[in-house]
Amino acid sequence: MSSDPYSALVRDYFAHTAHAGDLEDAVVAEIAERGVHLRLAATVDNGTIQALRFRAWGCPHVIAACEYFCAEHEGRPVGALGELHASNIMRNLSVPVEKTGRILVLEDVVRLLERAIRDESAPH
């Protein structure tokens, strides 16, 4: 057990949530389970993620992970969403193992978002 359950990165992302909020005309994905409620919104142009915003109800690790995820993925191709795994987030932010379940909710909502983007851009 480390004496501080929050790594410096978690503290920083939790304190500075530049990506909290909503987006107009965005693709949205939302999940509420395991004591976490997450909503992601993305605008996409030509296969590239233009903007990402989150809303989160949950513990500091979840909020920090959302901010981290949004900051990392703006400007990247939609395909990058598929590479996101809870385990990477946990490693990069030093999230304690007890929080695995909650970070998996983020992984799930990202999957949902990716699918929604592909559905939107598919020929109607």
**21 vs 77, which CB is nearer to another protein?**
21
27-33 sheet: strands from edge to edge:
27-33, 36-45, 48-57
Show the binding pattern over residues 57-86: x = contacts another protein (CB under 8 A), - = does not.
xxxx--x-----------------------
Q: Taken in order 61, 67, 72, 73, is the CA torsion positive or negative?
A: positive
Instruction: Tell me the helices (H) and strands (E) count for the chain, helix number first.
Output: 4, 3
Least gap, CB of 55 to another protein (angstroms) = 4
Helix axes 100-121, 86-93, angle to 10 degrees: 130
Least gap, CB of 120 to another protein (angstroms) = 20
Residues near another protein (CB under 8 A): 1-6, 11, 14, 17, 20, 30, 32, 35, 37-39, 55-60, 63, 98
